[in-house]
Amino acid sequence: MSYYKMPDGEMLFVREYGQGQPVLVLSGLGMLSWQWAAFLYPHRHQFRFIIPEWRGFGASSDCKIPDMDAISSHWLDVQSVMQQLNLDKVIVIAYSMGATTAMHGMQYADFAEHVTAYLHIDQTPKIPVDDSWAYGLFGEHHPVFISLLTQISELLAQHQDVKYIKDLDSNTRHQIARLWLQFIGLQNNNKYSLKAFEWILNQPRLQSLLLPSNRVDYMAWYINNYLYHREDYRAAIQKLQCPVTFLSGAQSKLYPVEGQTLVAQSIPHAKQVRFEKSGHTPLLTEPVKFGKEIAAFLKGNANQNNQAA
């Protein structure tokens, strides 16, 4: 476990364990590096896992926010870590926002040339929904989602002088809770779960458990990232010449599985594994199957580095 100095001088935390082929693991929004352990640690004798913690989370929570969008920043951080570790060829496991970061590197750099096997977990190559792509974030409910994000963004912009969400005035916190509950409702129609979420969101000390961040500035940074993200990575991900596997939640409301299937089918050498009982978090809802698929992916792509060298 180490800290690496980024181009802007900030120290990014990277969890590392294992030996053998390097595997770069790019997490989803709010996910901490230790949360991969149950799926990756059993393979530590054959693979060396490298798991950055994104700015604003875990041991990287004190990193300053750079003057750029989150995805661009994450890619530069990943690029810097790879350079410092002298990583030329890597297996990549990328989940949600981590997959967006990987595709950004494929689009704006030569990342695809350094990837020997790629595991893409429940993410769309294009966040917005328009006439050319109906399978962006929340699919047909994308306009509602954008409206909610806009309201939250405007609300947070008025309080950038406050560091933590818990220190906002009660009226602002209740407004954030109300809007975020509507956001959760887009993903979950279970009225009992929504009641529990509502209770948590209205407790100042617990609110951060359901929000992207406990800090006002970081929450605004990540929300604005999704609000203003206009990239289309469909052509970029097709640059991959290595083995590609998609793990997709069939019940995913965030990223409709139909869109993920279209992307998987657009890559001749790709395969897709559907998690029929899962939405966006198959690692939580179907952990046994998720662990087996991770193991199968790693076993199936062992020694790819040597073949590509």
Q: Return the pLDDT at 194.
A: 52
pTM of the model: 0.91
Q: Please report the beta strands in 179-257, taking only residues with DSSP state E, as ranges in sequence order.
A: 244-249
d(Cα 145, Cα 148) in Å, to the nearest integer? 5
Three-state DSSP state, 276: coil
> What average pLDDT does range 212-237 have in this prediction?
93
Q: Mean pLDDT, the chain, as a whole number? A: 90
pLDDT at 213: 84
Q: What is the pLDDT of residue 252?
A: 87
Q: Which amino acid is at 248?
A: S
pLDDT tens column, 40-56: 999 999 999 999 999 99
Distance between CA atoms of 171 and 177, rounded to whole angstroms?
10
Q: So what's the pLDDT on residue 192?
A: 45
Read off the pLDDT of residues 68-77 as tens digits, 9 standing for 90 and up: 999 999 999 9
Is residue 308 scored above 50 in pLDDT? no
Residue 119: its H or E element: strand 115-121
- Rounded to 10°, the helix 170-187/191-201 angle is 160
pLDDT at 205: 63
Each residue of 111-135: b (16+ CB within 10 Å) or e? bbebbbbbbbbbbbbbbbbeeebeb
Q: How confident is the model at residue 305 (pLDDT cuts 50, 70, 90)?
A: very low
- Look at residue 200 and tell me whether its pLDDT is greater than 70: no
Structure-token match 């997709």, residue found: 248
Least confident of 18-22, 145-149, 233-237, 258-262: 145-149
| Residue-level pLDDT at 195 | 62
pLDDT on residue 17: 97
Q: How far apart are CA 235 and CA 238, in angstroms?
A: 5
CA distance to 40, 67, 68, 183, per residue, from 52 (Å): 14, 20, 19, 27
Q: For the residues 87-111, what does the mean pLDDT come to? A: 97
Residue type for position 9: G
Query: Cβ–Cβ contacts within 10 Å for residue 217, how many?
Result: 18
For the purposes of burial, counting CB atoms within 10 Å of the CB of 99, is it exposed (0-12), middle (13-18) or buried (19 or more)? buried
Sheet-wide strand order for 2-5: 2-5, 11-18, 47-52, 21-26, 90-95, 115-121, 244-249, 270-275
Please state whether beta strands 2-5 and 90-95 pair in parallel, antiparallel, or not at all (unpaired).
unpaired
Task: Give the mean pLDDT of 117-124.
Answer: 97
What's the token pair of residue 45? Answer: 């004798």
Does residue 209 have a pLDDT over 50?
yes
Domains of the chain: residue spans and CATH:
2-126+231-308 (3.40.50.1820), 139-228 (no CATH)
Residue 166 pLDDT = 86
**H/E element, 147:** helix 142-157
Instruction: Give the separation between CA 11 and CA 6, rounded to whole angstroms.
Output: 6
Given a cut of 60, whether residue 275 has pLDDT beyond it is: yes
Query: What would the pLDDT profile of 21-36 be if each residue is shown by its tens digit?
Result: 999 999 999 899 999 9
CA distance 106 to 102: 6
pLDDT band with cut points at 50, 70 and 90 for residue 309: very low
Mean per-residue pLDDT, 111-138: 95
Mean pLDDT in residue range 167-190: 79
Q: 198 pLDDT band (50/70/90 cuts)?
A: low
Burial class (CB in 10 A: 0-12, 13-18, 19+), 70: buried
> Using 50, 70 and 90 to split pLDDT, how confident is the model at 210?
low
